[in-house]
Amino acid sequence: MVEKNPNPLARPLAANEQKLADQLRAAGLRPTRQRIAIAALLLDGRHRHVSPEQLTAEIAKTGMHVAGGTVYNTLNQFTDAGLLRRITLHNEHSIFDTNVDHHHHFYDADNDKLTDIASDDVILAHLPKAPDGHEISSVDVVISITAK
Amino acid sequence: MVEKNPNPLARPLAANEQKLADQLRAAGLRPTRQRIAIAALLLDGRHRHVSPEQLTAEIAKTGMHVAGGTVYNTLNQFTDAGLLRRITLHNEHSIFDTNVDHHHHFYDADNDKLTDIASDDVILAHLPKAPDGHEISSVDVVISITAK
DNA sequence: ATACTTGCAAATCGTTTGCAATACC
DNA sequence: GGTATTGCAAACGATTTGCAAGTAT
C-alpha cells in the first residue's frame, strides 16, 4: 500500500490550478484533471462563447486529450453548477457562455455566430412574474439578424 | 371506423378545406392533401404550440397518414412562408408556434412546456439596432422557470 | 476502499435528404 | 405533361449513455 498522499491530485497542481480546483469544489464538483483543463480555458474571468466542438479543439491545442463525451458532460455539469450558461440556437446546436449574468445576444443566422448585445442597450423593461409556484431560472433574449 | 378508400385522390375538398387551400396558395405553397391536413390542425386561428412529434400524433388521430419527414418539411415550409414561428428550446428540440406575432414565452423546464407570456406584460423596452449591414429578423425571449 | 469520473464507442434524438412513386395544375 | 410534393429509409449532426478502467477523497 502506498502511504497517504497529502496531495489531492496525482500530479501536483500549479498555483492557478489550485485556485480552479477550489472553485470546482465550491461548485460541488470533484477537481479532476480534465475539469481543471476545461475550467482553465473557460473560467478565467473572460467572457466567451464556446461550442463543444471548439472547446475540444482548444483542449487538443494544449496537448491534453479529453474525450468528446466528457467535454459534453463537463459542460453540462458546469452549467448545472451555474458556472456557465447554455444557449440553444435556432440551428440545432448549443453554445456555452461564460457570462452567467443575464445579458442577451444577437444571432447572425447567416454565419451562425453569436454576439453579445452591449449591456447599455437595455432591452428588458421588466420581467413578468413567473406563474404560481414557479420561479424564473433564466432569461434568454436572442435577436436574430440577417445581412440586408 | 376508417374505411379504406380505393381512390383517395378523387376525394373532393370540403368547403373549409377549400379555404385552407386558398390560404396555402396565397403563401406560395401548393395545396396538397397533407399540407391541408396540417393546415387544418394548425391554421384555424387558434394559438398553439406544437412539436413535430405531437403533430404527427394528431394527424394519425384523424385517420390520415403523413410521413415523418413530410411533417418536418411541411412545418419548415410553413415557417418560411410566415405561417408559423419556430422556437428552439434549451432542450434540443423545436416547437412551432401558430402565433407569428412577436411575443414571448415561459419555458417550464420541469415539464418541457411552453406558455405564452401575457401580451400586456411588456418586457421589451426597446430593441438595440442591429450591427452594420444587418437587420433584425426575429426576437425571441424565453424565460425559463422551475417549480420552487 | 469506495464512490465518482473518464474514455470510448455505440446508441439515441431530432431533423434532413435522396430518390422513385405520386399528386397537382 | 411537366413539375412540385410525398413517402420512406438512409444519412446526419449533435448529444447522451453504458460499461470497463482509472482517479479522487
Residue A2: what pLDDT?
37
CA-based radius of gyration for chain B: 18
Give me the helices (H) in A27-85, please: 33-42, 52-61, 68-80
B130 CB within 8 Å of a chain A CB: yes
Residue B90: what pLDDT?
72
Determine how β-strand A94-97 pairs with β-strand A49-50. antiparallel
Q: What is the mean pLDDT of residues A143-148?
A: 86
Answer yes or no: are the C-beta atoms of B44 and B23 closer than 8 Å: no
Please indicate whether, in this complex, the C-beta atoms of B145 and A139 are within 8 angstroms of each other: no
Q: Which residues of A101-115 are buried (b: 16+ CB within 10 A; e: fewer)?
A: eebbbbbbbeeeebe
Residues sharing a CB contact under 8 Å with residue A6, sequence separation 6 or more, in sequence order: none
- Which nucleotide in the DNA or RNA is closest to residue B72, CA to C1'? C15
- In tens digits, chain B (148 residues) has pLDDT values of 433 333 344 456 566 878 999 999 999 999 999 999 999 999 988 889 999 999 999 999 999 999 999 999 999 999 999 999 999 887 677 888 988 887 889 988 778 888 888 767 766 777 888 888 999 888 888 888 888 8
Kindly list the structural domains of chain B, giving each domain's residue range(s) and its CATH number in brackets, ordered by start: 8-145 (1.10.10.10)
* Among candidate residues B46, B32, B45, B36, the one with its CA nearest the CA of residue B16: B36
Higher pLDDT, A91 or B115: B115
A104 → chain B, closest CA residue: B141
Please indicate whether, in this complex, the C-beta atoms of B137 and A131 are within 8 angstroms of each other: no
Please indicate whether, in this complex, the C-beta atoms of B136 and A118 are within 8 angstroms of each other: no
